Structure 1
Amino acid sequence: MKSVVTRNIIFSACFIGLILLASFPGLFDFSNKIEPRIFSLSFAYFWQISMNILIFALLIIWYFVDSKYGDLDIDIEPLTKAELLEREVTR
């Protein structure tokens, strides 16, 4: 259980760090430039696209790490007829 919490804290910190790096005005000032152009995009557009790709990659890695350790297991139990009738009565 402790490793799950530690892993979630690490991934959350990286996720929040990337979001701040992409959008916080103080950190974004150095990338808010028209020149140089990268792939015929201004640097500001390239910076935002690259930050979004990094955030997406982090979420994918987080998913695969959690699935490797078996933390995505969810037990779903179907409702019994009695529970289903009870829900219909309370509505």
Structure 2
Amino acid sequence: MKSIGKRNLFFAASFIVLVLLASFPGLFDFSNKIEPRIFSLPFSYFWQFFINILIFLLLITWYLVDAKYGDLDIDIEPLTKVQLQELEVRK
């Protein structure tokens, strides 16, 4: 159980750091530049785009790691015929 907590703490801390890099005022001054242009985007646009891609990759990695270790809190069970009929009656 300790490894789950450490793993989640690592991913949560990484997520917080990336969000702070995107929005913390002191660091945003660094990224609030027009020059240099990267892929024809001002640096500030590129910075936000890059951080969002990193956040997306972090969340996907977090999901895949939890799925690998079987730590997901998702239990999907198919509905029975009775439950389906109850749903149709409610409509």
Band the TM-score falls in, shorter-chain normalisation: 0.7 to 0.9
- Structure 1 residue runs of 4+, over 4 Å off? 75-78
Q: How many residues align?
A: 80
Deviation at 1:28?
1.0
What CA distance in whole angstroms lies between the structure 1 residues aligned with 2:35 and 2:73? Answer: 48
Unaligned runs of 5+ in 2: 80-91
Q: Name the counterpart of 2:27.
A: 27
Q: Give the superposed CA RMSD.
A: 1.8
Q: Name the counterpart of 1:54.
A: 54
- Counterpart of 1:38 in 2: which secondary structure? coil
Q: Name the counterpart of 1:64.
A: 64
Unaligned runs of 5+ in 1: 79-91
Q: TM-score, normalised by structure 2?
A: 0.80
More strand by share: 1
Provide closer, same or farther for how the CA distance between residues 34 and 13 of structure 1 changes in structure 2, counting only shifts above 3 A. Answer: same
What CA distance in whole angstroms lies between the structure 2 residues aligned with 1:37 and 1:74? Answer: 43
What CA distance in whole angstroms lies between the structure 1 residues aligned with 2:26 and 2:20? Answer: 9
What CA distance in whole angstroms lies between the structure 2 residues aligned with 1:40 and 1:75? Answer: 45
Q: TM-score, normalised by structure 1?
A: 0.80
